[in-house]
Amino acid sequence: MISPARLYDFLNKKNIVFYTGVPDSLLQHFLKYIQDHSSSDEHIITANEGLAIGLASGYHFATGRLPLVYLQNSGLGNIINPLTSLADKEVYSVPMLLLIGWRGKPGIKDEPQHVKMGRITKELLDVLEVPVYLLEENEEAAFISINEAIEEALCYRKPVALLVPPGVFENYEGKAIENHYPLVREQVIKTIITQLKGDETVVCTTGKIGREFYEQNELQQKKITNYFLSIGAMGHASHIALGVTKNKNRKVVMLDGDGALFMQMGALPVIAQQAPGDFIHIVINNGCHESVGGQPTAAFFADCCAIAKASGYSKTVQIINEKELTQWLQDDFFIPGLQFVEIRTNQLPGKNTGRPAGNPADWKRDFMEALQKGN
Ligand SMILES: Cc1ncc(C[n+]2csc(CCOP(=O)(O)OP(=O)(O)O)c2C)c(N)n1
């Protein structure tokens, strides 16, 4: 297997000292190593993968060096435009290494949202004319491939990809990020379900928020019958919720993550402009991408409520403890209208993160039927 420490040293010797991207679970041990060993100038986690291509380009223009951009293959969708219209050989010809976690690799069982992208990842990179090197578990072989990839990127001044299947990196736990908020995400979700009447529509973002919602709802005898788990399409769940609330006269509760919110921050002013009737946008802000390893976001640095307010949300609330949460649920939750609620939590994962049985076609049918019935 590849040691994160040895890979980091190897890249360092090759003069690669700048890392940017959006985290992925398959790369998490290496990413945690970078996080612990690079300065804040050398490692920048961007809000989405496309921005990482922009940042890497700026870094290259300023230094002449080769940057490394990391991403999950689901983020390929976010980089196609900056890749083809900025970094491409036919435009500004920017050399960079793309370290890509290969979810849904054919032959390895994975979640439904990864299957298609897993199957087309190599072809997609081929169509984009990005050379692909597969990182094998064997460290020696992997370093030879990386060396060739670096030479190709520098020689032809273009992006070159290193594709990383599951189980390639040795374990590296990493230092915990400081966070003293008492609330735990799973507990917050449980409390919210407890307080809901049961006739609301709930839309959940990508990652463990949806899985914890599913599990807590099961534990409460499927109290919420009408819910949608956006298993993929990170950052888009708030607009799924907007599409529902604009066309159905019912209370919609959207459970967002800080990473997802920041990935598509432009969603906020459009939601506010549309001023949906009865829409509660809750962001469970744990300051990190907990679902893929806990790498930090910029969401504790920012003032999410101020951003929502400036975007046009009429009511915004920040909650940081159980008392404030119950107070808000009792006093304000049932007031109709548009609300933005930021709930700050620690990074502890839930104990119950099951995945719903069945498949997306069944889940969509159930969701649409429940919306039709109004139950
Ligand atoms: C476009 C895209 N990039 C990356 C991922 C991988 N991914 C899945 S969940 C997640 C983190 C989500 O973070 P946040 O919204 O803060 O929720 P948390 O996991 O902290 O609850 C990431 C990066 C993805 N699914 N899609």
Q: Which helix (H) or strand (E) holds 159?
A: strand 159-164
Give SS3 for 253. Answer: strand
What SS3 class is residue 262?
Answer: helix
3-state secondary structure of 251: coil
Joined tokens for residue 105: 């690799």
Together in a domain, 156 and 190:
no
Return the structure tokens found at 31.
């990413």
Residues 54 and 98 in one domain: yes
Answer whether residue 137 is part of any domain.
Answer: yes
pLDDT-based confidence at 218, cuts 50/70/90? Answer: very high
Residue 43 sits in a domain whose CATH number is: 3.40.50.970
Phi/psi region, residue 289 (left: phi>0; alpha: psi -120 to 50; beta: rest), is beta
CA–CA distances in Å: residue 294 to residues 178, 286, 288:
11, 9, 5
On whether both 202 and 345 belong to a single domain, the answer is yes
Measured CA to CA, the distance from residue 216 to residue 210 in angstroms comes to 10
Please report, as a single letter, which amino acid is at residue 286. Answer: N
Count the alpha carbons within 13 Å of 186 in the hemisphere toward its beta carbon. Answer: 17
**pLDDT tens, position by position, 108-146:** 999 999 999 999 999 999 999 999 999 989 999 999 999
230 and 323 assigned to the same domain: yes
Q: What is the pLDDT of the chain when averaged over all its residues?
A: 96
Give CA–CA dist 253/203, Å, rounded.
6
Its domain, for residue 327, covers 185-373
**Count of structural domains within the chain:** 2
Answer yes or no: is 177 within a domain.
no
Tokens 């990864």 sit on residue: 114
Measured distance CA(170)–CA(121) in Å, rounded: 24
- Domain shared by 330 and 217, yes or no: yes
User: Cβ-count burial of 226 within 10 angstroms (0-12 exposed, 13-18 middle, 19+ buried)?
Assistant: buried
Q: Would you say the CB of residue 234 lies under 6 angstroms from ligand 1?
A: yes
Q: How many CA atoms lie within 13 A of 359 on its CB side?
A: 5
What tens digit of pLDDT does each residue of 256-315 get?
Answer: 999 999 999 999 999 999 988 899 999 999 999 999 999 999 999 999 999 999 999 999
Q: How far apart are the CA of 374 and the centre of ligand 1, in A?
A: 31
- In the listed set 133, 164, 195, which residue is the last one of a domain according to the structure? 164
* CA 177/CA 159 separation, integer angstroms: 32
24 lines ligand 1 (CB under 6 A): yes
Is the pLDDT confidence value at 375 over 60? no
Please work out whether the CB of residue 295 comes within 6 Å of at least one atom of ligand 1.
no
Q: Is 299 in the pocket of ligand 1 (CB under 6 A)?
A: no
How would residue 373 be classed by pLDDT, with cut points 50, 70 and 90?
confident
Q: Is the pLDDT of residue 224 over 60?
A: yes
Is 254 found in the same domain as 154?
A: no
Is the residue at 178 inside a domain?
no
Q: Same domain, yes or no, for 116 and 197?
A: no
Q: Do 277 and 153 lie in a common domain? A: no
Per residue in 194-213, pLDDT (tens digit) is 999 999 999 999 999 999 99
Instruction: Tell whether 71 is covered by a domain.
Output: yes
Question: Nearest CA to 206 among 231, 170, 236, 184?
Answer: 231
CA dist 133 and 153 (Å) reads 12
- For a ligand 1 pocket test, name from 72, 206, 295 the mutation site with the most ligand atoms within 8 angstroms of its C-beta: 206
Asked whether residue 173 is domain-assigned, the answer is: no
Percent share of the chain, pLDDT over 70: 99
What is the structure's pLDDT at 351?
87
Best residue among 74, 216, 345 to mutate for probing ligand 1's pocket (most ligand atoms within 8 Å of CB) is 74
Pocket flag, ligand 1, residue 20 (CB < 6 Å) = no
Contacts of 236 (CB under 8 A, 6+ apart): 230, 264
CA atoms within 13 A on the CB side of 28: 19
In short, whether 288's Cβ falls inside 6 Å of ligand 1 is yes
176 is a domain residue: no
Give the position, in ligand 1's atom list, of the atom nearest the Cα of 185.
Answer: 21
Question: Tens digit of pLDDT for each residue in 305-362?
Answer: 999 999 999 999 999 999 999 999 999 999 999 999 999 999 998 887 888 889 999 9
- The SS3 of residue 339 is strand
Q: What is the pLDDT of residue 213?
A: 97
Ligand 1 pocket, residue 76 CB under 6 Å: no
The CA distance from 92 to 358, in Å, is 46
Q: Let me know if residue 169 belongs to a domain.
A: no
Inter-residue contact 93 to 129 (CB < 8 Å): no
In this predicted structure, the answer to whether residue 374 has a pLDDT above a threshold of 70 is no
Please indicate, yes or no, whether residues 205 and 155 belong to a single structural domain of this protein. Answer: no
Q: Do residues 204 and 146 both lie within one domain?
A: no
Residues 192 and 314 in one domain: yes
In a domain, 222, yes or no: yes
pLDDT bin (cut points 50, 70, 90) of residue 177 is confident
**Number of residues in the chain:** 375
Alpha carbon distance 59, 71 (integer Å): 18
Q: Is residue 259 lining ligand 1, measured as CB closer than 6 Å?
A: yes
Q: What is the pLDDT of residue 20?
A: 99
Residue whose Cα lies nearest atom 12 of ligand 1: it is 289
Q: With pLDDT > 90 as the criterion, what percentage of the chain qualifies?
A: 94
In the chain, helix, strand, coil percent, each to 5? 45, 15, 35
R_g over Cα of the chain: 21
| CA separation for the pair 354, 212 (Å, rounded) | 7
Residues 30 and 141 grouped into a single domain = yes
